[in-house]
Structure 1
Amino acid sequence: MTNLRVHAPSPADLEGDLASLRGDCARMAPRWAAPDRVAARPVPPSLIHGVTVPPASARLLDAMSEYGD
């Protein structure tokens, strides 16, 4: 026998503000499990290949100030 749970959908508030968005997120958060924390290991530059950056993007990034300026 299959136990089907049916949840009434929350009304979509397309004109909502930040408070309603935070409320929606708070209601959804218990349904999602957080993944186990995995420490990222650095990748040696010799293994990074095949990455291309268009010249316009490179110029855009070069023109951006560092975070916190």
Structure 2
Amino acid sequence: MTNTKVHTPAPVDLEGDLTALRGDCARMVPHWAAPERAAARPVSPSLIHGVDVPPASARMLDAMSDYGD
């Protein structure tokens, strides 16, 4: 069984809606800092490497019908 008692100084709205969520987010905005947007640069193909998958993981995925069939 889950204990639904919450000990917090602010009331908790467990049945909140999108409007309440947007209000909560708006109040938190001053606490968040957005990083400066960096321009995307192309990556040299010589820096792109394949993915190494351990043999045991490859066998496991091969045995899963969603992936191997």
Higher helix share: 2
Whose Rg is larger? 2
Query: What is the TM-score of this pair, normalised by structure 2?
Result: 0.50
